[in-house]
């Protein structure tokens, strides 16, 4: 495998109209989950990717498994947990603002994931383990599982990729900060946003955020700057890379996951730091052009055309 990732995926109900959910009559069903988003985006770009989690032994769980598998991701290590539900969430849309999200995931099957349920060989035989700060927020057992996965990866020379992905609807700042900083210390690649840099480090300048994480031991830091692109650094380079113009954005959820996937794709293709950032900005930008968390992710041909590396023949 090129990349292995794990974490909770849920069934997403997106409203077909804007406004408070009390007035919405119809919803579209899809899936949501930061880690499965990254997996799907990477698979669409042509990489060998595995995702695992625990799902309820119910129709929603089967739907998630089938959908992710249908996008070309290996789901052979997914565990179905009898007696536990698959998590769900609802989006609430308002014009010209990011959607509100309502979770119904407490006590879900994914929150019962335990360290002893990890398949060590599965993690050992990959190039990159991608994790997020959502998983340790789900439960104590999920937190222990995440650190065990990091231990397996680091002891087998597997790169650890980390998106802090702070979710204050799942835990408070006092709980989150020390755990996320500890994960960062064991990460090779990290994808913080400005808000996360401020919350975790008390810093707001991209250069300062990147330097602080490099001092912790991260080898590559890519600071997400939204519409402004990103600031990326490694042991040699320090670069600002502009984003791409997105007219009429539809849904910002999933853009950060697309960014991570694009960057990792560039690394797997052995591209230089600027090219990795261009891939990241491109996938992140394309994600917002389509409603849904993962529906806008491109294949490699579409990405190359979008970022200006090739020309598309339309007729």
- Listed residue (150, 161, 89, 88) closest to 115, CA to CA: 150
Which of 2, 163, 257, 293 is the catalytic position? 257
Three-state SS sequence of 175-222: HHHHHHHHHHHCCCEECCEHHHHHHHHCCCCHHHHHHHHHHHCCCEEE
- The phi and psi torsions of 312 (rounded to 5 degrees) equal -90, 130
- From CA 77, how far away is CA 248, in angstroms rounded? 39
* Secondary structure (3-state) at 293: coil
SS3 content of the chain, % helix, strand, coil (to 5): 40, 20, 40
Catalytic status, residue 208: no
Q: 28, 13 in Cβ contact below 8 A?
A: yes
DSSP assignment string, 265-288: HHHHTT--HHHHHHHHHHHHHHHT
CA distance 158 to 48: 15
Phi and psi at residue 93, in whole multiples of 5°? Answer: -100, 140
Nearest to 49 by CA among 142, 161, 178: 161
- What amino acid positions are annotated as catalytic residues? 257
């Amino acid at each position: 495998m090129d990349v292995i990732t794990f974490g909770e995926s849920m069934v997403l109900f997106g409203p077909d109209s804007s406004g408070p959910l009390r007035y919405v009559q119809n919803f579209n069903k899809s899936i949501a989950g930061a880690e499965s988003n990254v997996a799907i985006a990477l698979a669409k770009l042509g990489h060998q990717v595995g995702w695992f989690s625990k799902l309820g032994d119910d129709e929603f769980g089967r739907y998630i498994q089938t959908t992710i598998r249908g996008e070309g991701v290996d789901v052979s290590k997914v565990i179905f947990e009898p007696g536990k539900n698959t998590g769900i969430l609802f989006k609430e849309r308002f014009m010209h603002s990011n959607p509100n999200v309502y979770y119904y995931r407490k006590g879900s099957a994914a929150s019962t994931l335990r360290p002893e349920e990890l398949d060590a060989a599965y993690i050992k035989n990959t190039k990159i383990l991608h994790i997020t700060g959502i998983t340790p927020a789900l439960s104590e057992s999920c937190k222990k599982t995440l650190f065990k996965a990091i231990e397996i990866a680091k002891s087998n020379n597997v790169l650890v990729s980390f998106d802090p992905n702070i979710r204050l609807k799942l835990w408070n700042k006092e709980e989150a900060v020390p755990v996320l900083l500890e994960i960062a210390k064991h990460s090779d690649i990290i994808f913080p946003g400005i808000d996360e840099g401020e919350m975790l480090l008390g810093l707001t300048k991209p250069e300062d955020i990147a330097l602080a994480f490099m001092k912790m031991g991260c080898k590559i830091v890519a600071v997400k700057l939204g519409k402004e692109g990103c600031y990326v650094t490694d042991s040699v380079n320090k670069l600002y890379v502009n984003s791409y113009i997105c007219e009429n954005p539809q849904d910002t959820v999933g853009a950060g996951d697309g960014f991570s996937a694009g960057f990792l794709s560039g690394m797997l293709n052995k591209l230089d730091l600027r090219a990795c950032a261009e891939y990241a900005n491109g996938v992140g930008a394309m994600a917002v052009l389509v409603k849904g968390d993962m529906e806008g992710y491109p294949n490699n041909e579409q990405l190359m055309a979008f970022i200006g590396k090739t020309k598309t023949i339309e007729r």
